[in-house]
Copies of this chain bind each other. A is one copy, B any other.
Amino acid sequence: MMMGVFISMVCRPGRACRWCAAGYTNICPAVQFIGLPPLQGALQQYIVHPAHLLEPLPDGVSDEAGVILEPLAVALHAVNLIRVRPGQSIVILGTGVLGTCVLAVLALYRGIRVVCVDLMPERLERAREMGADVTIQPHPDADEEAARQIRSAAGGEGADIVFECAGALQTMWNMCEVAAPGAHLAVIGIPEEDKIIFSSGTSRRKGLTLRLIRRSVRTLRPCIELAGRGLIAPEKMVTHAFRAAEVGRAFELVDAYADGVLKALVDMEQW
């Protein structure tokens, strides 16, 4: 049974760095994080962790939901940084775990128009079930046509808000192409190559604002409450579960995007 979700800590309690002191522990240069070297990850049966750095899971929130809470908190952090207003059109590029978490948060709002874009039809089907107003499966080789199609679905002049959650070079470029003048963009995806490339002319002429999203800060507890009240169902994003001994298969499955996998869980208590 899962006891809680790891939270990151103020770097030096009592004399914190200026980011931690200002409440932005997520961008602290000295931040430590489970799974980020030198700290080991959680593929272990037991972990010793300070109790005050665990956010306890209440009864109504399952272990399956628990493993999604961290990316969900990132999504809520991103949505909070961008001001969402009734009447706006919003594009989510990529509906993997992070994009789906953003969609789950946006599904709390009515009166907005959400367009989801992905190459995998089963992910778009899930997006529709979760409340996407429009889904688009673009042709992978027709970038400009895809941008035109997305812009048009978002309402002619483009989207008021774009969440880049795919982390592909193509979607990084397209996030500006599908945006309306004055739009705000949250860049969440992490590309394989350490590069973000977009059009200088497009981004400048539209006067865009880009916010690069780094983890989350103070949104874990609100997410646990939303899950506890049944307003968000994070457990639905766990498509596969493995025993500890099957960890290799879990990684292979996720790496191959096989079998419609969204999030695969490894239960370290089941050998």
Residues of A within 8 A of B (CB): 13-15, 18-19, 21-24, 26-29, 52, 76, 79-80, 83, 85-87, 105, 108-111, 157, 167, 172, 181-182, 187, 190-191, 194-201, 203-214, 218, 222, 225-226, 229, 231-232
Report the Cα distance A191→B201, complex, angstroms. 9
* Inter-chain contact B27/A206, CB cutoff 8 Å: yes
* Inter-chain contact B111/A231, CB cutoff 8 Å: yes
Which of B21, B22, B86, B197 contacts A226, CB < 8 Å?
Answer: B86
Q: Which residues of B contact A23 (CB under 8 A)?
A: 21-24
Report the Cα distance A204→B195, complex, angstroms. 11
* Inter-chain contact B195/A27, CB cutoff 8 Å: no
Q: Which residues of B contact A187 (CB under 8 A)?
A: 203-204
Question: With A194-B200, A196-B200, A208-B212 in contact, is A105–B86 under 8 Å at CB?
Answer: yes
Report the Cα distance A21→B110, complex, angstroms. 25
CB distance from A253 to the nearest CB of B (A): 26
Q: Which residues of B contact A105 (CB under 8 A)?
A: 86
Report the Cα distance A191→B105, complex, angstroms. 37
* Inter-chain contact B207/A27, CB cutoff 8 Å: yes
Of all chain B residues, the one with the shortest Cβ separation from A110 is B108
Which of B22, B109, B111, B206 contacts A218, CB < 8 Å?
Answer: B22
CB distance from A184 to the nearest CB of B (A): 10
User: A-B pairs with the 10 shortest C-beta distances?
Assistant: A23-B23, A87-B222, A207-B214, A27-B181, A27-B207, A210-B210, A22-B23, A108-B110, A108-B111, A203-B212
CB distance from A191 to the nearest CB of B (A): 5
* Inter-chain contact A206/B195, CB cutoff 8 Å: no
Report the Cα distance A208→B204, complex, angstroms. 17
CB distance from A195 to the nearest CB of B (A): 6
Which of B27, B157, B204, B225 contacts A182, CB < 8 Å?
Answer: B27
Of all chain B residues, the one with the shortest Cβ separation from A189 is B200
